[in-house]
Amino acid sequence: MELSSLLAELKPYQARLVAVSKTKSPNDVMSLYNQGQRIFGENRAKELEEKRDKLPSDIQWHMIGHLQRNKVKTIAGFVSMIESVDSFRLMREIEKEARKANRVIPVLLQIKIAEEETKYGFSIEELLSGFESQPPSDYLHLQFAGVMGMASLTDDHEQIRREFKGLKAHFHTLKELIFPTNDSFKEISMGMSGDYPIALEEGSTMVRIGSLLFGPRE
Ligand SMILES: *Cc1c(COP(=O)(O)O)cnc(C)c1O
């Protein structure tokens, strides 16, 4: 799909686009960059680092994949957002590396919403009890910017819709109970190539789209 048509679809919802460039070449990134796209998403720290070394410095790189704690330092100095924060141990590591880098890093809390078995992501209960013992104010170098989730890979649109509704409900619960005075806590990152129209209808503020823009991955 053309970037311009996709942006036209997002516009009525005021949702932003993260162009997911994992496995794609720097040239592929440049072709969207030249059309004005600035936010790109990658799921591996090493690939993120390599691309950022080759590409314009005003690109905003989002980490969207599971991040191992020993890889945080690879990206802490420049990453614009870590969308895939899925444990308190990872949060503490990001806090440590962000402090060293003298930065405040925007992060999203990845929440498990898929009915299918998935590996990564918090449950809402884990988040509520975790923040009770370690309040967000313990993390001076993290900016809690919202939530991220992935729906099941299924053709059942009603199931996908239910899962996105669940993420939105968790967002509101966290906003009310944990982040009532944090104006930065506002993003709901949901929707990929196969399900973004449903995500937009259910209140997505940020879609993460790869194959629809770049073509299928190897
Ligand atoms: C790969 C990936 C996407 C994009 O997937 P497409 O189906 O290619 O749009 C979105 N989010 C995450 C977390 C991903 O790993």
- In this prediction, residue 115 carries a pLDDT of 85
Q: Is the pLDDT of residue 59 over 90?
A: yes
- In this prediction, residue 180 carries a pLDDT of 97
- In this prediction, residue 171 carries a pLDDT of 98
Query: Is the C-alpha dihedral spanning 122, 205, 185, 210 positive or negative?
Result: positive
CB distance 58 to 37 below 8 Å: no
Task: Tell me which H or E stretch contains 187.
Answer: strand 187-189
Total-model pTM = 0.98
- In this prediction, residue 116 carries a pLDDT of 82
First to last CA, the chain: 18
How open is the CA angle 25-30-32, to the nearest 5 degrees? 105
Q: How confident is the model at residue 117 (pLDDT cuts 50, 70, 90)?
A: confident
Overall average pLDDT of the 93-103 stretch: 98
CA of 38 relative to ligand 1 center, distance in Å: 17
According to DSSP, the β-strands at 187-189 and 16-20 are unpaired
Overall average pLDDT of the 186-203 stretch: 98
- In this prediction, residue 211 carries a pLDDT of 97
Give the span between the Cα atoms of 18 and 122, in whole angstroms: 22
State whether the beta carbon of 19 lies less than 6 angstroms from ligand 1. no
State whether the beta carbon of 145 lies less than 6 angstroms from ligand 1. no
State whether the beta carbon of 192 lies less than 6 angstroms from ligand 1. yes
State whether the beta carbon of 118 lies less than 6 angstroms from ligand 1. no
State whether the beta carbon of 22 lies less than 6 angstroms from ligand 1. yes
CA of 133 relative to ligand 1 center, distance in Å: 33
Of the ranges 135-139, 153-157, 160-164, 214-218, which one carries the lowest mean pLDDT score? 214-218
Mean pLDDT score of the chain: 97
Per-residue pLDDT tens for 148-191? 999 999 999 999 999 999 999 999 999 999 999 999 999 999 99
- In this prediction, residue 173 carries a pLDDT of 98
- In degrees rounded to 5, what are phi and psi of residue 51? -70, -40
Residue from 17, 20, 108, 204 whose mutation best tests the ligand 1 pocket (most atoms within 8 A of CB)? 20
- 131-163: string of b/e by CB count within 10 Å (b at 16+)? beeeebeebebbbbbbbbbbbbeeeeeeebbeb
Residue 184, helix vs strand vs coil: coil
Per-residue pLDDT tens for 120-134? 999 999 999 999 999
State whether the beta carbon of 208 lies less than 6 angstroms from ligand 1. yes
Overall average pLDDT of the 71-78 stretch: 98
- In this prediction, residue 218 carries a pLDDT of 79
- In this prediction, residue 201 carries a pLDDT of 98
State whether the beta carbon of 148 lies less than 6 angstroms from ligand 1. no
Give the span between the Cα atoms of 53 and 108, in whole angstroms: 24
- In this prediction, residue 138 carries a pLDDT of 96
Ligand 1 atom with least separation from CA of 196: 9
State whether the beta carbon of 20 lies less than 6 angstroms from ligand 1. yes
Ligand 1 atom with least separation from CA of 194: 7
